[in-house]
Amino acid sequence: MTWIHPWTPHLFSFRTTRPKGFRFTAGQFARLGVEKSDGSVAWRAYSMVSGPYDEFLEFYSIVVPNGEFTSELSRLKVGDTLLIDKQNHGFLTLGRFTGGSDLWLLSTGTGIAPFLSILADPTAWESFEHIVLVHSVRHANELAYRDTVEKFAEHELFGEFAHKLIYLPVVTREPIAGHLSKRLTDLIPSGELERQVGLNLDLDRSRIMLCGNPEMVNDTRKALKAKGFQTSRQSSPGQIAVENYW
């Protein structure tokens, strides 16, 4: 562990050294291990926040009250050891899609993590005309990484593409002027999300990734299927890719 950044009492990010030979594609996750007081190791899946070219690994975590893994994790300090399974996992990657010109990245809570990794890699910026990043949280102080996203215009590599990014924070449990406040599962069927973004969800143009609360992922996928979108599979390319994640 090389760096720890608390966002709220329940949310924090951390960095580790990157083991030699640990390779991944943006959007994938790793299995992290922490040693418990009885000497056994607890493992949990975490998407990388950092990009495939970063020399460190960064992760974003919630502290689950009395959670076996996150309680141990949140006790670690800079300099402490974290285990990592060298195998990378997951299919929430741009390789799932063919075609499309608008990339929609729809997240709740810590589910924004893989999308930050995707935005830390040149592929998405070069491949799409528009990138829509929606982050739905309960309270405004949980809009982690807002600064990072809003400062892409100053980014030395991606600054020239920053005009492509439309960032839409959604805060559902407190009224914040100028912010959407309904769940994604309401914003999509009503058309409010498309109006707010200024783009239509379109079978030819849109490629959509969902990550976060498993119920949100399921229900949003249903709402998109009702509009004709299909989950992308190797045998039959579609427009949707998902990861359940907390």
Size of the site for ligand NAP (CB under 6 A): 20
Q: With contacts defined by CB under 6 A, name the span among 126-134, 135-143, 159-167, 221-229 that binds ligand NAP.
A: 135-143
Report the nearest approach of ligand NAP to the CB of residue 11 (Å). Answer: 7
Q: With contacts defined by CB under 6 A, name the span among 68-76, 86-94, 189-197, 209-217 that binds ligand NAP.
A: 209-217
Residue of the chain from 36, 75, 173, 195 that contacts ligand NAP (CB under 6 A): 173
C-beta nearest to ligand NAP: residue: 109
Pick 20 or 177: Cβ nearer ligand NAP: 177
Considering only residues 26 through 65, tell me which ones interact with ligand NAP, judged by CB under 6 A. 62, 64-65
Q: Is 243 in the site for ligand NAP (CB under 6 A)?
A: no
Q: Is 221 in the site for ligand NAP (CB under 6 A)?
A: no
Tokens of 101: 């010109």
Binding site for ligand NAP (CB under 6 A): 10, 62, 64-65, 108-109, 136-138, 142, 172-173, 183-185, 213, 215-216, 219, 246
